Amino acid sequence: MITRQRALDAIEHEPHLAEIREFEPECIDTILDFAMGCYIPAFRWVNYEIAKKYVAQFVGRDAPSPELRTAAQYEVLHGYIDWLLPSEVRA
């Protein structure tokens, strides 16, 4: 499981995530809180879809901030969500 501190450190090392946090700190904080509360790998994709719907209001073509309307930010944030959520264990 990824710790909150490790997740915050990753933001500092990824310029697109740092920019999202600068313009929409609530988005990043809410995603971190949500992901840190997701413990069951079997619900990973359900949680991923929930998180994706949430961030759509902040990043991507319909973002209120023009600075956050790039495809790169959209993709990086979705990758970050994927990284944060617990992995499915396979037998």
DSSP string computed for 38-87: ---GGGHHHHHHHHHHHHTTTSSTT-SSGGG--HHHHHHHHHHHHHHSPP
pLDDT band at 12 (very low <50, low <70, confident <90, very high): very high
pLDDT band at 57 (very low <50, low <70, confident <90, very high): very high
* Rounded Cα–Cα distance for residues 23 and 85 (Å): 23
Q: Looking at residues 45-62, what average pLDDT do you find?
A: 95
pTM reported for the whole predicted model: 0.91
Sign of CA dihedral 15, 74, 6, 33: positive
